[in-house]
Amino acid sequence: MSEQPFILHLTERSLWDAARERGAYEMSTRGRTLQEEGFIHCSSREQLPKVGAFLYGSYDGPDELVVLVIDPALLGVPLKYEAPEPGGEEFPHVYGPVPVAAVVDVEPWS
Query: Within a domain: residue 1?
Result: no
What is the pLDDT, as a whole number, of residue 4?
77
Is residue 1's pLDDT more than 70? no
Average pLDDT for 56-80: 92
Domain of 58, CATH number, reads 3.20.170.20
How many distinct structural domains can be found in the chain?
Answer: 1
Reported as a single tens digit per residue, the pLDDT across 36-50 is 999 999 999 999 999
Query: Within a domain: residue 58?
Result: yes
Average pLDDT for 85-102: 96
What is the pLDDT, as a whole number, of residue 59?
82
Query: Within a domain: residue 2?
Result: no
Give residue 65's domain range.
Answer: 7-108
Q: Where are the alpha helices (DSSP H) in 1-110?
A: 13-22, 34-37, 48-56
What is the pLDDT, as a whole number, of residue 3?
67
What's the pTM value of the predicted model, to 2 decimals?
0.92
Query: Within a domain: residue 93?
Result: yes
What is the pLDDT, as a whole number, of residue 79?
97
Dihedral sign computed on CA atoms, order 31, 27, 29, 15: positive
Maximum CA extent, the chain: 39
Q: How many CB atoms lie within 10 A of CB 25?
A: 23
For the purposes of burial, counting CB atoms within 10 Å of the CB of 104, is it exposed (0-12), middle (13-18) or buried (19 or more)? middle
